[in-house]
Structure 1
């Protein structure tokens, strides 16, 4: 948490506190170049980590988001250092907006939510991302419907034959064997056996 009595270094033009975030994907990569660029941009503090962007649990990113206060601006050297996809970028931008903080990319000057033009660009990106999601949902639905018409069965495959299910039922009702024992006998999980028996009832 930031000391409320330490406002940090402020941007000369805007008066905002600039906070840097740097990331590389592997331990073999070096953060020095990003750190130097962020320091030159006036960042009073830099959060940096060596972790792949595909990981959702990025500790330094979480610490940075917790550190932010209204009026701060997060600076990155490039958007792919911050987010792993358009959707991820929009989600992070929404978190920043909820805190009253801005976002600025040194590599993509248009990505600056402290300006009306930058905010408009992210709004457009949000619309495009939503459109892409709706197209994927529609294509998936049509694909499933076409597959069903061809006789494709969805859901987990039935791993037990009718004879096996009958034998299993006999073992339970006649011999008093437990479902767990019978599931182990047939090489399936007991939940699979429960479902198969329920469907066959």
Structure 2
């Protein structure tokens, strides 16, 4: 259990991924750990914009202790975990996990682990960037178009270019194809 003396009750954070799951077990553990206020989300851990998580981080004060039952309740990747814990510690608050005693920023071991997580997050970010670039390159070699599909077919684009060359207003051409004026304007380049 947590042995560092607390001046105020810790804050809890509980999350489940789907509405069919229940927060009951997490809430029970967090209350048993002395959490006075518990922020609760029903959202995927992959979502960065979890409302209650964002609210909790915004309301944090120096000296607060954020408690979770397990670190996977806070984040799904090393990168996300590091980013969230960094936001917590940047506010002068601490982070701890009940199931992983090493994940406690009040201890030197916990701070060391946070530093290691930061390094792992950096490596993870580089690996993702490399895999994405490789995938994009393979797709280009196969002739796949990257990004959004064009709003106009190649035939429509050729027609619109002819109409532009004939002096017709881009706004008028855009209306006839039900696209924005910028879609037509980009055909000039």
**TM-score using structure 2 length:** 0.78
Q: Which runs of 5+ in 1 are unaligned?
A: 1-10
Please tell me whether residue 31 in structure 1 is matched to residue 23 in structure 2.
yes
The residue that corresponds to 2:183 in the other structure is: 192
The residue that corresponds to 1:7 in the other structure is: none
Structure 1 residues 87 and 16: CA distance shift in structure 2, 3 A: farther
Residue 149 of structure 1: how far off its partner (Å): 7.4
Please tell me whether residue 103 in structure 1 is matched to residue 103 in structure 2.
no
**RMSD, aligned CA:** 2.9
Matches within 5 A, 1:1-201: 13-17=4-8, 18-141=10-133, 159-160=153-154, 163-171=158-166, 173=167, 177-186=168-177, 188-197=179-188, 199=189
Residue 194 of structure 1: how far off its partner (Å): 0.8
Is this contact kept in 1: 2:78–2:117, CA < 8 A? yes
Structure 1 residues 109 and 189: CA distance shift in structure 2, 3 A: same
Distance 2:56 2:142 in 1: 52
Q: Which has the larger radius of gyration?
A: 1
Distance 1:154 1:27 in 2: 35
Structure 1 residues 15 and 151: CA distance shift in structure 2, 3 A: closer
**TM-score using structure 1 length:** 0.74
Distance 1:30 1:147 in 2: 41
Q: SS of the residue aligned with 1:167?
A: helix
Size of the alignment, in residue pairs? 184
Distance 1:163 1:135 in 2: 41
Structure 1 residues 32 and 146: CA distance shift in structure 2, 3 A: closer
Q: Which runs of 5+ in 2 are unaligned?
A: none
